[in-house]
Structure 1
Amino acid sequence: MLAPLLIMLREGLEAALVVVIIAAYLRRTGRGAWIGAIWVGVLFAVALSLFVGAGLQFLHAGFPQKTQEGFEAAVALIAVGVLVWMVFWMRAAARSIRATLERGIDAAFDTAPGQGTIWALIAMSFFAVAREGLESVFFLLAIFEQSPGPAAPLAALAGIAISVVLGFGIYSGGMRLDLRRFFRVSGLFILFVAAGLLSGALRSLHEAGLWNALQIPAWDLSHVLPNASILGTVLSALFGYHDSPTVGEVGLWAAFLAVTLPLFLRPAPALLPQKA
């Protein structure tokens, strides 16, 4: 199950990088005694993400079938928005995130000494990890609905575990990664995952009785590559493949990629020189 593994690896690595930057800067500036506050924020963020995920799953289980389909469509649409925002936010912020965090740490020590500094550091790590955690809740729910069984959750856990190991390796100085290339390649892959989720959301809206246009079958590969086959299952989990999609699903999938891929692959703007 490559999709949940890679997405959680990317989400976990984004959160880990923020925590690593904060911890490394504290250690480098002789403030290592404050690192414990970071872990308090991380634990609060993880607890919030688990609580929200469990709550949404509980609500989903209590809905009648038609409402469940509508709920799944809503979760998938939110997941698509989250994935797109995540990809483009990291593309824009990757080059300045270290400087922004370090300025925030210095400001916390300058303007909120003592107890205020602890809460400022807790808040910095909490919001960084909670953002990634809450994002993960929505697209994991969407992927789990399309890929039932234990494989997808186990793959997501594996992605988190790998990101923790990589984060520790980067913090200890024993590991170097080409993060720019990693986020570019993974971002490209995630856009295809988001396109599959979007077409699946349209299918769920139709099953919920909320969308009935463009339901003419685009093609039928059920005798060549059915959803239940091994390859069909893999493609469905990765890219939302369906052996008999409708014209609306194919058109929405293509339109989404036609807009997002050129925007993502365009050259990044040059950084402006900083004023003295």
Structure 2
Amino acid sequence: MLVPFLIMLREGLEAALIVGIVAGYLSRSGRGDWMPAVWIGIFLAVALALFTGAGLQLASAEFPQRTQELFESGVGFVAVIILTSMVLWMRRAARSLKVELQGSIDAALSGSRGKGLALVGLVFFAVAREGLESVFFLLAIFQQSPGASGPLGALLGLFVSALLGYGIYIGGVRLDLGRFFRWTGVFILFVAAGLLAGALRHLHEAGLWNHLQTVAFDLSPVLPTDGLVGSVLSGLFGYMADPTIGELLAYVAYLVVTLPLFLKPATPRPAAGPSMLRRAGNVR
């Protein structure tokens, strides 16, 4: 329950911040009458994410065992790619996201025709990106940890993120977003490492990966995955009591590559040109 909660808290807060930036800029620039287009974009993005998730879940229920293992492995690999790109993208884009969104709004509303559709499309693609990311890695997590607690945690995380996003928008909540995204980013990378190892296991069970299958160690007698501590570690970090050498190598290699990329200091951005300075001046 904790992993879906934290992931949806982060994803939901990202989407809420994007919507808050758009809504706040429209209000401050005297274009608040365009807010219905924002809500239409949000509704369409949420509908796309829900239909995609439901479709994938229903399709997988009809698969035979080997195909089911292949499907779960594929979802796991896609989830790892999406999680990694999302974390690294947010690290790079966080500082310029507000200015870039506001510039996109100005461009969308500057045309003589199709202003509403352009704004709907802007919000739709921004929110749909977060929604589709959530669909894939929630599917991967639910497959590894079936039960009602996962969906309940995801819904709770989404609800809390909506409350936080609204509080930030009206100014009632002060949150160190840089620190929040940094620490949740580290957590998500550990989750992705566990999903990668789990996807490799599904690939083996489908009969397509039979290398490095020697068990590296077996902690089942002292720390089983069905115990309290083991289940928490499994849910949070993808802990396996008896990983194979291949799964352990995949887990460690992924973290060795991604953690330094994520934690290294951000490269200073080039000095803003006159057009960017004029746009940034509108933020105040």
TM-score, L = length of structure 2: 0.95
2:215 matched residue in structure 1:
217
Offset of 1:58 from its aligned partner?
0.8
2:147 matched residue in structure 1:
149
1:137 matched residue in structure 2:
135
What is the CA deviation profile of residues 8-67 of structure 1, one whole-angstrom value per residue up to 9, with x for unaligned ones?
Answer: 111111111110000000000111111121011000000010100011001110001111
Partner of 1:110: helix, strand, or coil?
A: coil
Alignment of 1:1-20 (within 5 A): 1-20=1-20
Match of 2:122 among 121, 124, 131: 124
Q: Aligned letter for 1:82? A: I
Partner of 1:80: helix, strand, or coil?
A: helix
Runs (4+) of structure 1 moved beyond 3 Å? Answer: none
Match status 1:204 vs 2:202: yes
Does the 8 A contact of 1:225 with 1:232 survive in 2?
A: yes
Offset of 1:112 from its aligned partner?
3.9
Q: Aligned letter for 2:62? A: G
Offset of 1:243 from its aligned partner?
0.8
Match status 1:99 vs 2:63: no
Does the 8 A contact of 2:87 with 2:185 survive in 1?
A: yes
Offset of 1:92 from its aligned partner?
0.5
Does the 8 A contact of 2:109 with 2:119 survive in 1?
A: no
Offset of 1:125 from its aligned partner?
1.0
* More displaced stretch, 236-245 vs 177-186: 236-245
Mapped partners of 1:124, 1:19: distance in 2: 10
1:27 matched residue in structure 2:
27
Gapped regions of structure 1 (runs ≥ 5) = none
Does the 8 A contact of 1:146 with 1:236 survive in 2?
A: no
Offset of 1:271 from its aligned partner?
1.7
Partner of 1:111: helix, strand, or coil?
A: coil
What is the CA deviation profile of residues 54-110 of structure 1, one whole-angstrom value per residue up to 9, with x for unaligned ones?
Answer: 110011100011111111000000000000000000000011111011111111222
Alignment of 1:1-276 (within 5 A): 1-113=1-113, 116-276=114-274
Offset of 1:121 from its aligned partner?
1.3
Offset of 1:223 from its aligned partner?
0.7
Mapped partners of 1:254, 1:152: distance in 2: 26
Q: Aligned letter for 2:143? A: E
Does the 8 A contact of 1:45 with 1:133 survive in 2?
A: yes
Partner of 2:210: helix, strand, or coil?
A: coil
Does the 8 A contact of 2:224 with 2:241 survive in 1?
A: yes
Mapped partners of 1:34, 1:173: distance in 2: 22
Mapped partners of 2:106, 2:160: distance in 1: 31
Aligned positions, number: 274
Q: Aligned letter for 1:37? A: A
Gapped regions of structure 2 (runs ≥ 5) = 275-284
Give percent identity, aligned residues only: 61
* More displaced stretch, 232-241 vs 212-221: 232-241
Mapped partners of 2:63, 2:194: distance in 1: 24
What is the aligned-residue RMSD (CA, Å)? 0.9
Offset of 1:241 from its aligned partner?
1.1
TM-score, L = length of structure 1: 0.97
Mapped partners of 1:16, 1:112: distance in 2: 29
Partner of 2:142: helix, strand, or coil?
A: helix
Mapped partners of 1:14, 1:44: distance in 2: 17
Offset of 1:118 from its aligned partner?
1.1
2:279 matched residue in structure 1:
none
Does the 8 A contact of 2:46 with 2:128 survive in 1?
A: yes
Mapped partners of 2:64, 2:268: distance in 1: 52
Does the 8 A contact of 1:80 with 1:198 survive in 2?
A: yes
